[in-house]
């Protein structure tokens, strides 16, 4: 196993929520934590220094995109991903599985791996579990993910069962191929929207043994209730002494439910993508800064928010920037949204430490309009 260490500090008495500490080669992470997504070695519109300012402890980078451009070998020659993107805190890289499988007709799956055509120039490529691990080792992330098959939703039961079994075989190959002692490796639980398949997938991965465990294949079009049911289905079977990660979910209420179910790590493009589209997150719900009602509104985005944007800029100004298509609109909106997400995680951690997460969860919903 890797040099990564996970410490479970305390558990909330009224829920499955957990307070933890994850130590990696590039620093310590307090959990539960949200990881901003830096798909192409950058969190869109934000500098690394600004990410530190809003409270980012770890960012996620995309294996598929960095493999295609500029190439993992180039990044390795330039000193690795941390140096390349000027980020000295932890990085998690996904396996590329979700991106490859989302290519549809541009890819072909086999037991060996996946052949696909680049969405950039149509060139042919092949990624196997071994290739995915080699890419992630070259990038030098603190946490690497196993290569998995991310099935579509909805999907037939028999297909999902065969898919999770292949994901298990691929996970075993990933572990065999993985050789960096300073890099943790997480397995990914699949199984669609069937609790029994999810639990079977988790058991198979636990038998292999990984540094941490993730739920993949969520937020792919399923109803919220199903998503939350899959969280609950796996929460009591995953090892208590390992970090638990839900991949790709990002609505604030989904993060709260994930924490409530006992998960520690989350990521999503939602805060930055919504920011670029003028949707801003607040303690009372989401607002659309494009709306005419904000044309003369001198108040901050959220009076309860302490971020740089809310301390210095009005809704009227932010609306003006967005409607004028100014680059600063994306920057300030992203700054606020990421601060909101990371502050929400900090408040959740404090609530768990105080033994009052259930009350905090109720208050979260009561504030939203």
List pLDDT tens digits, range 172-228.
999 999 999 999 999 999 999 999 999 999 999 999 999 999 999 999 999 999 999
Residue 234 shares a structural domain with residue 112? yes
> Is the domain of 202 the same as that of 261?
yes
Instruction: Indicate if the pLDDT at residue 104 is higher than 90.
Output: no
* Separation of alpha carbons 262 and 245, rounded Å: 10
Flag whether pLDDT at 1 surpasses 60.
no
Do 96 and 175 lie in one domain? The reply is yes
Same domain, 264 and 279: no
pLDDT score, position 44: 98
Residue 22's closest CA among 7, 35, 37? 7
Check residues 40 and 1 and name the one with the higher pLDDT. Answer: 40
Average pLDDT, the chain: 96
Residues 155 and 200 in one domain: yes
- Residues 251 and 280 occupy one common structural domain: no
Structural domain ending residue among the three candidates 268, 296, 319: 268
Question: How many structural domains comprise the chain?
Answer: 2
Residue with tokens 């300073």: 182
Q: Which one-letter DSSP state was computed for residue 292? A: G
- pLDDT at residue 140, rounded to an integer: 98
- pLDDT at 72 (0 to 100): 98
Q: Would you call 267 a catalytic residue per the annotation? A: yes
Residue among 23, 20, 2, 4 at smallest CA distance from 12: 20
Q: Are strands 18-24 and 212-215 parallel, antiparallel or unpaired?
A: unpaired
Half-sphere exposure (Cβ direction) of 179: Cα atoms closer than 13 Å: 6
With 0-12 / 13-18 / 19 or more C-beta atoms within 10 angstroms meaning exposed / middle / buried, residue 206 is: middle
45 with 149, same domain: the answer is yes
Question: Does the structure show a pLDDT above 60 at 94?
Answer: yes
Q: Which sign does the torsion angle of CA 36, 38, 39, 44 carry?
A: positive
Residue 136, domain extent: 5-268
Residues 168 and 287 in one domain: no
pLDDT for residue 2 is more than 80: no
Two structure tokens written together for 60: 């996620």
Catalytic residue among 142, 254, 267, 302: 267
Whether 182 is catalytic is no
Q: Identify the pLDDT of residue 102.
A: 79
Write the pLDDT tens digit of every residue in 114-127.
999 998 999 999 99
- For residue 203, what pLDDT is reported? 98
Q: Which pLDDT value is given to residue 96?
A: 83
The pLDDT tens digits of the residues spanning 147-184 come to: 999 999 999 999 999 999 999 999 999 999 999 999 99
CATH number at residue 217: 3.20.20.105
Note whether 29 and 150 are same-domain residues.
yes
pLDDT at 15: 98
Q: What is the pLDDT of residue 214?
A: 98
pLDDT of residue 105: 79
pLDDT tens digits, 250-275: 999 999 999 999 999 999 999 999 99
The pLDDT, as a whole number, for residue 202 is: 98
Phi-psi label, residue 41: left if phi above 0, alpha if psi -120 to 50, beta otherwise: left
pLDDT confidence of 99, banded at 50, 70, 90?
confident
Q: How far apart are CA 143 and CA 43, in angstroms?
A: 18
Percent of the chain with pLDDT over 90: 95
Residue 98 has a pLDDT of 80
> Which of 246, 268, 290 is at the close of a domain?
268
pLDDT, residue 123, reads: 95
Q: Among 242, 268, 294, where does a domain finish? A: 268
Same-domain pairing of 226 and 284: no
Q: What's residue 359's pLDDT?
A: 98
- Which of 150, 143, 180, 4 lies closest to 63, judged by CA? 143
The catalytic position among 12, 94, 264, 302 is 94
pLDDT, tens only, 24-52: 999 999 999 999 999 999 999 999 999 99
Residue 38 pLDDT:
97
Beta bridge pairs of residue 250: none
> Percentage of the chain with pLDDT > 70?
99
Residues 216, 221, 223, 203, Cα dihedral to 10° = -20
- Interacting residues of 52 by C-beta distance below 8 A, sequence separation 6+: 89
Tell which residue, 108, 364, 114, has the closest CA to residue 251: 364
Q: Are residues 263 and 293 in the same domain?
A: no
Question: What count of other Cβ atoms lies within 10 Å of the Cβ of residue 329?
Answer: 22
Asked whether residue 33 falls in the same domain as residue 75, the answer is yes
Query: Is the predicted pLDDT of residue 101 greater than 80, yes or no?
Result: no
Quick one: pLDDT band at residue 332, thresholds 50, 70, 90? very high
């Amino acid at each position: 196993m890797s040099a990564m260490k996970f410490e479970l500090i305390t558990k909330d008495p009224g829920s499955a929520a957990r307070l933890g500490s994850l130590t990696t080669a590039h620093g310590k992470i307090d959990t539960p934590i949200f990881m901003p997504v830096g798909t192409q070695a950058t969190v869109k519109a934000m500098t690394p220094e600004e990410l530190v300012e809003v409270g980012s402890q770890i960012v996620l980078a995309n294996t598929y995109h960095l493999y295609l451009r500029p190439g993992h070998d180039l990044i390795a020659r330039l000193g690795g991903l941390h140096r390349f993107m000027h980020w000295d805190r932890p990085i998690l890289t996904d396996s590329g599985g979700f991106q490859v499988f989302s290519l549809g007709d541009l890819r072909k799956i086999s037991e060996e791996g996946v052949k696909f055509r680049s969405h950039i120039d149509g060139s042919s490529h092949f990624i196997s579990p071994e290739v995915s691990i080699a890419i992630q080792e070259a990038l030098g992330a603190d946490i690497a993910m196993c290569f998995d098959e991310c099935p579509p939703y909805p999907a037939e039961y028999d297909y999902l069962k065969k898919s999770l079994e292949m994901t298990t075989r691929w996970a075993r190959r990933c572990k065999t191929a993985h050789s960096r002692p300073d890099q943790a490796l997480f397995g990914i639980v699949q199984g669609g929207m069937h609790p029994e398949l999810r639990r079977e997938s988790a058991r198979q991965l636990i038998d292999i043994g990984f540094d941490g465990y993730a739920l993949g294949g969520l937020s792919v079009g399923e109803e919220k209730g199903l998503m939350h049911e899959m969280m609950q289905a796996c929460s009591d079977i995953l090892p208590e002494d390992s970090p638990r990660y839900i991949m790709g979910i990002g609505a604030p209420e989904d993060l709260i439910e994930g924490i409530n179910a006992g998960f520690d790590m989350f990521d999503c493009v939602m805060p930055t993508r919504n920011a670029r589209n003028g949707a801003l997150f607040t303690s009372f719900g989401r607002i659309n800064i494009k709306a005419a009602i904000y044309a003369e509104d001198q108040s901050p985005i959220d009076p309860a928010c302490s971020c740089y944007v809310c301390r210095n800029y009005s809704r009227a100004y932010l609306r003006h920037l967005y409607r004028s298509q100014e680059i600063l609109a994306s920057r300030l909106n992203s700054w606020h949204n990421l601060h909101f997400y990371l502050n929400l995680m900090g408040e959740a951690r404090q609530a768990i430490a105080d033994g009052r997460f259930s009350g905090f969860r109720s208050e979260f919903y009561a504030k939203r309009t």
